[in-house]
Each structure stands twice: as structure tokens, then as C-alpha cells.
Amino acid sequence: MSERRGCAALRFDRRTHRYKSVRPDQAPLRQRIREIAETRVRYGYRRIHVLLRREGWPVNVKRVHRLYRMDGLNLRAKRPRRHVMAARRVERPLATRANEIWAMDFVSDALFNGKRFRSLTVVDAYTRECLAIHVDQGIKGEQVVDVMDRLLFQRGMPPDKIRVDNGPEFISKALDHWAYINRVTLDFSRPGKPTDNAFVESFNGRFRDECLNTHWFLNLDDARGKIEAWRRDFNETRPHTSLGFMTPADFASSAGVNPSR
């Protein structure tokens, strides 16, 4: 039986019968996904999709996810197990504008020779910008005040509140005096409750995963240079999920705030 009669008997369109799927070559796209995943080792497929769209690739997130899994690039971040009976505490109010709430904390790491150093991280809770990362071997309350003065000059105004833990640098007389002079409230987290300062704790996790764990630091100057380059990349390039995959700098600009430099 001819094709015409067979399709007519089955009431099947001959164009559908003759159709042959034409799939574009996926090799260049897969190569670019691997390149991004190799340079940004803690990025998942959603952030990789955002970067691809910025570069002009006409691809949807489902295809990126499929190719991402085919190449075995899946992240396997361990999640802490929660007890079923754990009660959720009342969450603190969220920031509603830039410079309303800052959060800061310390992160420790080591140089290639094992010598320890500390990083003071400061984050705006509304724009999610990393305002500063101050690196030194020992950071005292006076150095924290110097960082706050520099940020005060850059931002043009102090925050209403700064969320900190109960470390000796944050309960020092120097920082207390600075907060009193600038009318800033120091919001101390409860002992043993890091979730009270969740924004900076989340940032510190990204900082350790994407910067500290992926670099060797030869000395303090080398550490300062690499960490500052990562901070700028975080503010100006890295898509942020809670900001609708905008960068913190773009979100700050859309909110009418000069992005942190």
C-alpha cells in the first residue's frame, strides 16, 4: 500500500509521518556548562542557566538541568537533619530598605603554611551586598570600628541596627562607643543561636565554599587580593536566588542605592 493510501486509511497526516526531528548540536552548550561549573564549583544548574542567558544562549532551564545531570555535575550538599518535634522560633523582622540592618561576623582560615588569619564579613540584610571583608591575623574591636567608619563614609549614612554575636570584638568598649556616637543599635544574637544572625551565616557559608576552600593563600596580601576579587564578583556577577537571580549590585541600583564598591 502506498504512503498516501495508508495515511488516508489511518487518518494520519503525511507531514507528521515524514517529520524527522532536527536537534541542534549540544556539544558547544555542554562544553560551556562544564567550563562554568569548573570555574564556579559551587554553582548549581539554576545559577549556571542565568549566566548562560546573560551570554546570549537561547536555552531554557530544563535543558540546562538535563545536560548538567548528564555530565555528572550535580552538587551534593549535606543538609542537617531536623527533629520532627523541633519548634520554630519567632523570626526576627526583615529589613525593608537598604542600610537599615547590617550583619557582621568572623570567618577563620589558614595560609598555605598553616598560619591562621581571620576575616570580618559585613553584609547588608536588604540588598544582600557584601559591604566589606577585612582580613588580618588578629582583629580587635578598634579594627572593627575602623571598618565601620570606612563603610559609614562610603555609604553616606549609618545603619539603624547591626546584628552581631557575643564575641569579644563586638562587646568591646570601642564598638559600643562608636554605636552610641552614631546612634546605631547593636542587636546581639542569643548564645548558641547562630540562626539569629542568619544572613551573615548564610553568606559565610558561600564565602567558605566558593572562595576559601578553592584558593591557596601564600601570605596576607595574597589572601586580601583574592578575597577582595571574590567579594566584587559576589556583588556584581553572582546571581542571588532570594533576589530573583539578580546580582546584589543590580538590586541595590534598582532600589536607588549606590552599589557597594
User: Residue 64 in contact with residue 245, Cβ under 8 Å?
Assistant: no
| DSSP characters over 169-201 | TTSSHHHHHHHHHHT-EEEEPPTT-GGGGHHHH
Please report the pLDDT score of residue 80 as a whole number: 54
Please report the pLDDT score of residue 89 as a whole number: 46
Helices 61-70 and 45-54: angle between axes, nearest 10 degrees: 120
Q: Which residues contact 36 (CB under 8 A, 6 or more apart)?
A: 43, 48, 51, 52
Least confident interval from 3-12, 18-27, 85-94, 120-129 = 85-94
Question: Dihedrals φ, ψ of 183, to 5°?
Answer: 55, 50
Q: How confident is the model at residue 32 (pLDDT cuts 50, 70, 90)?
A: very high
pTM for this one? 0.75
- Give residue-wise pLDDT tens across range 218-230: 999 999 999 999 9
Q: Is the alpha carbon torsion for 198, 123, 134, 211 positive or negative? A: positive
Please report the pLDDT score of residue 74 as a whole number: 81
Q: How confident is the model at residue 163 (pLDDT cuts 50, 70, 90)?
A: very high
Q: How confident is the model at residue 86 (pLDDT cuts 50, 70, 90)?
A: very low
Helix H or strand E encompassing 240: none
Residue 214 to residues 41, 160, 189, 208, 230: CA-CA distances in angstroms? 8, 35, 30, 8, 11
Strand partners, 163: 103, 187
* pLDDT greater at residue 92 or residue 186: 186
User: Residue 123 in contact with residue 234, Cβ under 8 Å?
Assistant: no
Residue 204 to residues 75, 220, 234: CA-CA distances in angstroms? 18, 19, 12
**Average confidence score pLDDT of the chain:** 86
Which whole number is the average pLDDT over 207-227? Answer: 93
Please report the pLDDT score of residue 78 as a whole number: 57
User: Residue 162 in contact with residue 185, Cβ under 8 Å?
Assistant: yes
With left for phi above 0 and alpha for psi between -120 and 50, is residue 119 left, alpha or beta? beta
- Class of residue 17 by CB neighbours under 10 A (exposed 0-12, middle 13-18, buried 19+): exposed
Please say if the pLDDT value at position 121 is more than 80: yes
Please say if the pLDDT value at position 84 is more than 80: no
- Give residue-wise pLDDT tens across range 232-253: 999 999 998 888 889 999 988 8
Please report the pLDDT score of residue 83 as a whole number: 46
Please say if the pLDDT value at position 81 is more than 60: no
User: Residue 138 in contact with residue 224, Cβ under 8 Å?
Assistant: no
Residue 98 to residues 37, 131, 222: CA-CA distances in angstroms? 32, 12, 31
Please say if the pLDDT value at position 88 is more than 70: no
Please say if the pLDDT value at position 62 is more than 70: yes
